[in-house]
Each structure stands twice: as structure tokens, then as C-alpha cells.
Amino acid sequence: MTDLIEGTLEKARAAIAAHDLVAPDAAVLLMVSGGSDSTALAYLGAALREAGDVGPVAMLHVNHQLRGEDADADERFVAALAEALDIPLFICSIDIAAEAERSRENVEAVARRERYLAANEALRSMCQHEGRPLSEARIFTAHTADDRIENFYMRSIVGTGPGGFRSMLYRNGPVVRPLLDITRDELHDYLSAREAAGETVVRDESGALWREDATNAHTDRFRAYVRHKIVPVAKEWNSALPEVLTRSMNLIADEDDMLQNMAEKLAEESTEWVAEDDTFGIDRSEGFRLLPAFGKAERPLQRRAVLRLLEAMLGPDARVEAASVEAVLAGFANGAPNSGYVANIQYDLAVSVNKRGVLVEPMAYFRARRKKHD
């Protein structure tokens, strides 16, 4: 049992080292829902703290108020877990259903956004209290190899853009995923081994080692459908699926990183932001221009560069459609600006072309310029 406990911890350490996820003295916020994966993350985070692999550790639990008493029981379980591990706890309660109705957005999308807003706010507060630099602080999530595999199949079904089949990043800004090489079953075994070895464990009000969300079994939800209907069939064909597919996704990720670096160089050398001020920096919301030299680049690099430029212009919550990227690239014909071309793409953006290049800007700006010249 001790070997299993230490082996799981070593896998997390190996991921941290291989992908340079966190500095040994950096502040770490653990996002803990109370499910098996995040409960394991709490124990592993405490172990990393005790071993000096990370700096001060705190936990965040977000109560989405979507499951009534079950959600409140999740909160009580996480509070007991934080107390047992002597980890400071932030609790945030948000009426996600009401917010989704108000904003007319998908409930899951709203929950995710609010969760990460709360995490960034808690991380700032923690760094101020601990006197640690925010730039080095990290948010640990409990995403596993299974989550990554599910994402892979979900994207296989609905389609994806450049780099999509790497599935999940080990690090995305301050958010890191140290359990991405560990399966959900391995974490279940880790939790059971802790109990068998007499290590600290916390049980919920029903006596379980973690909280179960019954909605995870509903196969009318896309992820649950993939988890329960597709992945098990693939594992029947190849029981080593987690190791094999993780290795394949990491190979894709290596090539994706290389291509992304090339695309960023292309954007830097052949693009200009419309509004740039030496005092206040760049206002990316006003748009960008792809210079004529951009049209000479290979199409895969152009596609990646335009995707990142649109994401930078629209903000981190934007979901850029492939059709929008292609509409921008249609501004070039035979490697040169296609003067006179005009298109309207998502988020009410205008694409227009003259000899100076391909301009992408808010439609209101485009119309104002047209009216001025009429």
C-alpha cells in the first residue's frame, strides 16, 4: 500500500518536473469539488507541501447551487477535508442557474467561467496573505488522463482546430494539471490505499471516501456519454489505451508547440495591431492588420496565427469558429491581398482588404470609416 501511495505521488512529481509546472516555493491553490479526483488532489497537494515541493497551499471549493442538499454536503465534506489536512479553505457560493438564465448562456460554460474567476481571486488573496509573488503562483486542477482521453474523443466527434488533438495543456497560464498522467482508477486505488495504510482520510456523511455527483452518469450529457459509452469500448480493444493515447497526445503536443512558435513568429513579423500607444500599450479590441508578407506564409501557419490573433482580440472566453479563420484568410488570393474583399464574421467583426493588407476590426469601426469616405 505504501508503494502505491508513493508511486502516485511520484507520478505527480514527474509531471511537475517534466513540464516545469510550479516552483518549489510558489503558492498553490487546489481546486477541490469533493469528487474522487479532486479529493486525491487535496491529499497529494498536502504531501507536496510537506515534502517542500511547493510553497504554501490553500484550497478552493465552489458551490454551484445546482444540486440542492447534495451540493451543500459536498461543501461540508471539503471543509472537513481541509481541516484534517490543515489547509486554509476558500468557499465560494454562486447561483449558477440564475446567472445562466440572466446571461442566456450554457450552464456548464457559466459554471466553468465563474469557477476560474473565483480561483484567480482566491489566488491573489492567498499571495497577498502569504507574501508570495502572484506571477509564480499556480492553480492546481484535478484533471486526469481520463479527462484528457474523453476530450480527445469528444473533439473527434464534433471536430477541432489546430492543436486540438493534444487535448489538454499541462499548463495554461497559472492553471496547471499535475495529475494529467494519472488515471481515475489509479486515484481511486490511491485513496483506498491511504485508508488501508492508516493515513489521514476523511469520509463523507454516508461513509464514502469521496463525493459522487450522480449527474456524471447521465449519458444525455456529451462528456458522460463519451465516458460511459465510447471509452469503455475502446479499452476493450486495447486495455493499454490510457498509456498509448497519452503518449500519442504528447507527441501531437510536441509538434503543436513547434508549429505554434512558428505561427507566433509569423504574427509578430507580419501583423500590426490597429491601436498602439507607447504609454498605454496595445488595445487589441480595436483589431489587427495582416500585412502583405503574411500572405506568403504556409496556410497551416497562417491558420494558427489568425486563430491566436482573434483570441487575443476577443478575450479568453471567446470561442473562435473555424469559418471565421477561413474568412479572414480568404482576404489573400495567390499570396497577395485580395483588394476589395469584405466579410462579416462572428462577434460582428468586419474583414476588409486593400493593398496595405487584411484588416479585422469591429463592424462599427468599419461602418464609421465607410460613412466618413462616402
* Known binding residues for ATP: 33-38
Q: What are phi and psi of 219, to 5 degrees?
A: -80, 5
Closest CA to 45 of 20, 37, 211: 37
Beta-bridged to residue 93, according to DSSP, are: 63
How far apart are the C-alpha atoms of 229 and 222, rounded to whole Å?
10
- Those residues whose C-beta lies under 8 Å from the C-beta of residue 344, and which sit 6 or more positions away, are 350, 351, 363
End-to-end alpha carbon distance in the chain: 78
